[in-house]
Structure formats: structure tokens, C-alpha cells
Amino acid sequence: MIFTLISLSLLLPSYINANLLIATATNDKLFLLNSTSITKEISTKVSHLEFISSKYLASSFEKKINIWNLSTLTVDLELNLHASKILDLKSLSENNFISADESANFFRWINLSFSSVLDFSSSLNKEKLIFLKIHNNKIAAGYTGLNDVLAYNIQTNELIFSRNKSDFQINALDFLSETQIVLSYQNGVVLLLDILTRLTKKAFISESPLSLMFSSNLLLGTSDGILYEFDSDLKQITRLPTVKRPIKAIEYVNSSMILTITEVCIRFWNVSAKPWSFAMNCNFLDLTTITHSKFQQSKY
């Protein structure tokens, strides 16, 4: 498939919402962007990002969560209850969110204040999670450095799935539904796993997969800059060579648009176009994470 490049300018491609608000980070800087340009940046350490309301952005680094005021990009609140490295932040509704760490502790925050914690650390057998994804207010899944896969019901406080370690390194995980997860492995295997029935489906690619994102179809980015699209049965639909840079993250915006990042660029993909087209912003150095606001925003 051929794709078309569109440069970002004052005349926006129609698929890019003028009120789009994005947060992205490098190892030592946090950026806010609107649909055309960087609006704010600040030097800080960031691992994970999540918009938690129309006014606030949450970031984590190691064991600390910062709550950023979007109008000033200053920290209004620091949350320091985690005793282990934070791996995910998940917004639930305005000013309510969940944070989770490498010891499988899930903290619930209501109106930016601590509400409760679930402790699943005994499920890890003295290991640590290296990746964790909170799907919604109910289910989360992750994997350890030994490639054990675990899933939790964070409403009923139950470990609902545990899969013994693989001989191959897991690179990424995402949810297809509350009962299905997809895993990508260093050796090119893409595995669809039902956490209730334990049934699996496999696909294979020739490159090393780095990032996953599921909306209506599964998108996978590789270390060689290839963007794959699969259907929910892991049948390949699209293989897009982009640039020979690792696709480090994929962010779903809406049915027409996704975002991808390499070390230096954000690409704004129009996935409703045939062929796909993209605009891009390449004013960065060593991007690590990206998210966008799901809340109705004022202009910042």
C-alpha cells in the first residue's frame, strides 16, 4: 500500500480535530501540543501520561505521580503512596483514575484523593511486572521479566489468569476485549489469547514488534518502522513501510485517526483514507510516550 504525506500547516488536514490536545514526553521533557504545534514544554522526568480531566494531566516517574495544571503546566499536586515503580495510569472519569505498579498494587483515586488499594503482589512469586495495562474499571493485564502473563479483575480483587513463562521475550500487550489480550514477541509471533478459555491464535511477522494498539482492528508497529494492520482473527490487512525508525507507541484517537511516535516524530495518521495519509511533527528528540485528551478541552 502507498501512503501520502501531508505537512502540518495552518491549513489542517480535515481529519485532524482543531481542539486535539496531546501530551508526549522524552526522557527529560514533557510537551503539550495542539493540532499544529507545541504549546508548552517543561523539563521533568516522565514515564507514563494520562489526561484525567479537562483541567489536569497525570504523569508518573518511578514511584511518584504528578498532577499537572494544563493551563500553566505546573504541578498542583504530588501523590507519593506507591512503594514500587508505577507502570500505568488509567482515567475513569473527571478527576478519578487508577494507578498501578510493578508489584501489582492498584490505587484508586477519587477527586484526586486516595480512595483504596488492591494488593496482588502475592501473585508474582517475588517477581516484578515490567508492563501493565489497565483496560477499564474492571480488568488489567501485564507480564513479568520472565514473560509470565497475568490478568486481574480489579473490581472483585481476583487473579483471573496466569500463564507460565515463555522462552521468548514479550515486547507488547494490548486488550481486544475484557476477555481477550494480544501479545507480541521479540521473535515476531503475535498471539491472541482468551483469558477465560485459554484458547489461542497466532500470526507471524518477519520484523520485531514493539508496539500494539487495538480499536476495530489491531495495529502493530515494529523496530524497522513497519506498521501492520490485522483483523480480530489476526489476518493481515495492511503492511505499511514508513521510515526505518522504531515505532515506539500507537495511540487511538478516533475511527479516522491514530498517532504513532518514533524517536523524533509524531505522525497523525488518517486511517479512513485510501491509501492512508499522514501529517507529522518532527521537533523532538527521543520520544518515549504519547497520549491525547478524551475530555472536552478549552484551548491552552
In this prediction, residue 294 has a pLDDT band, given cuts at 50, 70 and 90, of: very high
pLDDT for 12: 58
Answer yes or no: pTM beyond 0.85.
yes
CB 240 within 8 A of CB 1: yes
pLDDT for 277: 87
pLDDT for 210: 96
Q: Would you list the domain boundaries of the chain? A: 4-292
CA distances from 44 to 2, 67, 190, 260 (A): 39, 13, 35, 22
pLDDT for 2: 39
pLDDT for 297: 62
Please enumerate in sequence order all residues whose Cβ is within 8 A of that of 11, keeping only pairs 6 or more positions apart, or say none: none
Section 193-199 average pLDDT: 95
pLDDT tens per residue across span 55-94 = 999 999 999 999 999 999 999 999 999 999 999 999 999 9
pLDDT for 184: 97
pLDDT tens per residue across span 130-181 = 999 999 999 999 999 999 999 999 999 999 999 987 889 999 999 999 999 9
pLDDT for 164: 83
pLDDT for 6: 44
Joined together, the cell numbers standing for residue 55 give 483541567
Percent of the residues in the chain that have a pLDDT greater than 70, as a whole number: 94
pLDDT tens per residue across span 208-257 = 999 999 988 999 999 999 999 999 899 998 898 877 899 999 999 999 99
What's the CA gap between 265 and 267, in Å, rounded? Answer: 6
**Pairing of the two strands 277-281 and 4-5:** parallel
What's the CA gap between 119 and 254, in Å, rounded? Answer: 34
Phi-psi region at 62: left, alpha or beta (left = phi > 0; alpha = psi -120 to 50) = left
pLDDT higher than threshold 60 for residue 9: no
The per-residue pLDDT of the chain, averaged, comes to 92
- DSSP character string of 6-17: ----SS--TTS-
CA torsion through residues 99, 88, 45, 269, sign: negative
Q: What residue type is 61 in one-letter code?
A: F
pLDDT for 97: 98
Asked if the 4-292 domain carries CATH number 2.130.10.10, the reply is: yes
Of 4 and 294, which is predicted with more confidence? 294
Section 120-128 average pLDDT: 95
**Pairing of the two strands 139-144 and 129-134:** antiparallel
